[in-house]
Structure 1
Amino acid sequence: MVPQQPSRSRGRILAVLGVFVVLIVFWNTWSSIDIGAASDAPQEARVDMSDPVLSALKVSVRQASSSPPKLTIGVTNTHSGPVTVFTWNSPLDPLAVQLGLLSFTPEGQDTPIDIPTIQVRRLMPPGDDAYVTIEAGKTEEREVLLKKPMIPLDQLQGKVKVVCKGEWKSVWASKKEDISAEALVNTGADEASLKGNFESEPVEIEF
């Protein structure tokens, strides 16, 4: 019986070590869950705060003229307060067609036609006309002309589905005069501005 005592002692030590390891693993797992939940909370709050404003900006497209072919792109503010939009690369950009924000899908086709796009180099900082405040319930519109060689008009015959799609670079839930000059100069880097995707409802236009 005496030779078996060291074996029993080792067994007890291993059992104690096993319990200790289990407790450490449990503690680390519980701590990581708490930390993860705490770090995720501010990010979720930020997303929830931005969604109502961006989703309240309704983008629309309608035919303004058939000859020459012109489209009117509008942004309606259905938010409860004023919203200021940075117009570069937005539906209100006069270069919306050249920047590839509009897609054209002829009837009977599954994919839009290919339209060449351009890269625009603009003077910084943006001028005052690069910002538009849209009051609650109001609509701001821009008219664009469809012409060759940018738009292959010979491929747009009959009914064509048109969509305006892209990304808001900067949107503020306030009037322009309430935005700091520094924020306007550093458009895109301002943490207070909202960024997100936009897409109009498909509209059928006759060419």
Structure 2
Amino acid sequence: MGTARPRTHQNRSILPALLTAVALILLFWRGRSQPPPNIDNPEIIADENTLAMSSDQDTDDDITKYLKVTARAVDDGSSGGGGGLKLALAVANTHPTDAVTVLTWDSPLDPLAVQLGVLTLTRTRTPKAEADTSSSKTEAGEEKEEQILIPTIQVRRKMPPGPESLVAIGAGQTREQVVELREPMVPVGKLKLRGERVRVVCKGLWRGVWRGERESVEGDKGELLGAKGEFESEAVVVGF
């Protein structure tokens, strides 16, 4: 009667199969225990490429960088004598393809631009040379800039802005309006009496700018929804 041999070889062949089965069971239950992705929260499913694209898009949405503001004196012969001085305030859209719509409030295209303080006026004064009796020398005075203070007003706007407050500017086009510097806002009489020259700068904040024609944004024209940004023109020197 012979002795039975241990089934070592058979046990070794069964062990890998058992380990594989246990691993599959663990993976199955682990997958069922995780909650499904929340599609209502885009941050959970957004990858790095998606976030980078969103960042680039936000930067491109700064449509105000395509707006260029300029100011120039207008001589139409109607502001002579005791009248004021007329200025043309212009806004150019430098975007190569897209139109923009501008909310005119507090902008160069606002009919109340002067009264709202959109213009900054500065005059340059050169004091006359004074004799130094102690040294018998005459020294020329240094130029001094002095800002002309313009009394401003406050306006209560009705929301939402009406279509008359929205101006569309096509790609490569310019819109402008003519304003007048006159009494009592500006001391025109004194400036003319002295023959002074004044440096004018048009600057302020855009209250709302949209990409597209006016009709495309009229349904979404809340003031807080438009792009914001600063504007400032180059200085123009005018004579009184």
Q: Given the two structures, how large is their TM-score scaled by the length of structure 2?
A: 0.62
**Alignment RMSD:** 2.4
Cα distance change on mapping 1:101 and 1:155 into 2, 3 Å: farther
Q: Which residue of 2 aligns with 1:48?
A: 59
Question: Residue 158 in 1 paired to residue 196 in 2?
Answer: yes
Note the C-alpha offset of 1:56: 1.5
Q: Of residues 88, 92, 113 in structure 2, which corresponds to 1:72?
A: 88
Provide the residue aligned with 1:118 in structure 2.
153
User: Does 1:83 find its partner at 2:100?
Assistant: yes
Aligned residues: 164
CA shift, 1:200, in A, is: 0.3
1:196 equivalent in alignment to 2:196: no
Q: What is the CA distance between 1:75 and its match in structure 2?
A: 0.3
Q: How far does the alpha carbon of each residue in 1:84-124 deviate from its partner, in whole angstroms, 9 at most, with x for none?
A: 00001111001000000101111234242111110012333
Task: Tell me how far 1:48 sits from its aligned partner.
Answer: 2.4
Q: CA deviation at 1:55?
A: 1.9
Report percent identity of matched pairs: 46
Aligned to 1:63, the other structure's residue is in SS state strand
In the TM superposition, residue 46 of structure 1 has moved relative to its aligned partner by 6.1
Q: What corresponds to 2:3 in structure 1?
A: none
Are the structure 2 counterparts of residues 112 and 42 from structure 1 closer, same or farther at C-alpha, using a change threshold of 3 Å?
Answer: farther
Alignment partner, residue 96 of structure 1: 113
Residues 104 and 47 from structure 1, CA distance in 2 versus in 1: closer, same or farther, beyond 3 angstroms? farther
Counterpart of 2:154 in structure 1: which amino acid?
A: Q
Is the counterpart of residue 59 in structure 1 residue 69 in structure 2? yes
Q: Quick one: which of 172, 176, 179 aligns to 1:144?
A: 179
Aligned to 1:132: 167
Report the CA distance between 1:50 and its aligned residue: 3.6
Alpha-carbon displacement from aligned partner over 1:163-192 (angstroms, at most 9, x marks no partner): 0000000001111111151x21x2x221xx
Q: Deviations over 1:123-169 (max 9, x none)?
A: 33322110000001111001111111111224534221100000000
Match of 2:59, SS?
Answer: helix
Q: Give unpaired runs (5+ residues) of structure 2.
A: 1-50, 126-143
- Summarize the Cα distance change of 1:149–1:46 in structure 2 as closer, same or farther, 3 Å threshold: farther
Deviates more, 1:195-204 or 1:106-115: 106-115
Mind listing any 5+ residue stretches in structure 1 that lack a counterpart? 1-39
